[in-house]
Amino acid sequence: MSKKSRKKSSKTSSGSSTAKKKTAKTRAPTQAKSAKTQRTPAGKSTGTIAKAGSHKAASEQLNSSKTASPPAQAKSGPVEGQKAPAFRLPRDGGDVVTLADYAGRKLVLFFYPRADTPGCTREAIDFTRLAGAFTAAGTAVLGISADPLKAQEKFRDKHKLGVPLISDEKHEMLEAYGAWGQKSMYGKSFLGILRTTVLIGPDGRVARSWRNVRVDGHADEVLEAARSL
């Protein structure tokens, strides 16, 4: 082989080697950029997911605290010796009843949860049974619930009740006398009518009150209290 051929062959081999090095250098930054490009969205995605998860957890905690808020507490009502709160409400038959209608007389107010339910029916029948005895003791009797007038009149007719029934759908009288408050049933708390009875004296003041009434024998106990007043 001549010297010229050897030089040419050497240059060709050297050039091929240099091209390979340049290609390798070109690939390396390209791969690095590609890897960097792939990692960046992944990092952003993870941060976005973390933020979203944190926001969702905070929202759930806030909603949970709102849901767990206890219902508002009702008024406790007048205590014995205090002046009885005034009222003006419709009664069965369409008339309007006020506290002033009974000025100078003794008055029994029995608050019951709902017309024509077992306990309320027994209580209303017991007061009806003793209506004559209450009249003899100079005492009037009124039954109060949040039922509309039609329900009260149906209740009266079905059981032949002999005491006036007042409709307090807006709970104004119920709240004023402390017969509206927190109750619980099947593990749930809610606001409703508390079975309550109030005896008002001739002076217009509360003489006696019964809270969380047990129906059996209650009307007889109230009658005795009215007689002794």
User: Catalytic positions, please?
Assistant: 120
Beta strands at 106-111 and 139-145: parallel, antiparallel or unpaired: parallel
**Around 94, how many Cα atoms within 13 Å sit in the side-chain half-sphere?**
0
Contact 120, 114 (CB under 8 A): yes
Phi, psi angle pair for 59, to nearest 5°: -65, -40
| Contact predicate 35/43, CB 8 Å | no
The string of DSSP letters for 143-182 reads EEES--HHHHHHHHHHHT--S-EEE-TT-HHHHHTT-EEE
Q: Where in the chain does DSSP place strands (E)?
A: 88-90, 96-98, 106-111, 139-145, 165-167, 180-185, 188-193, 196-200, 206-210
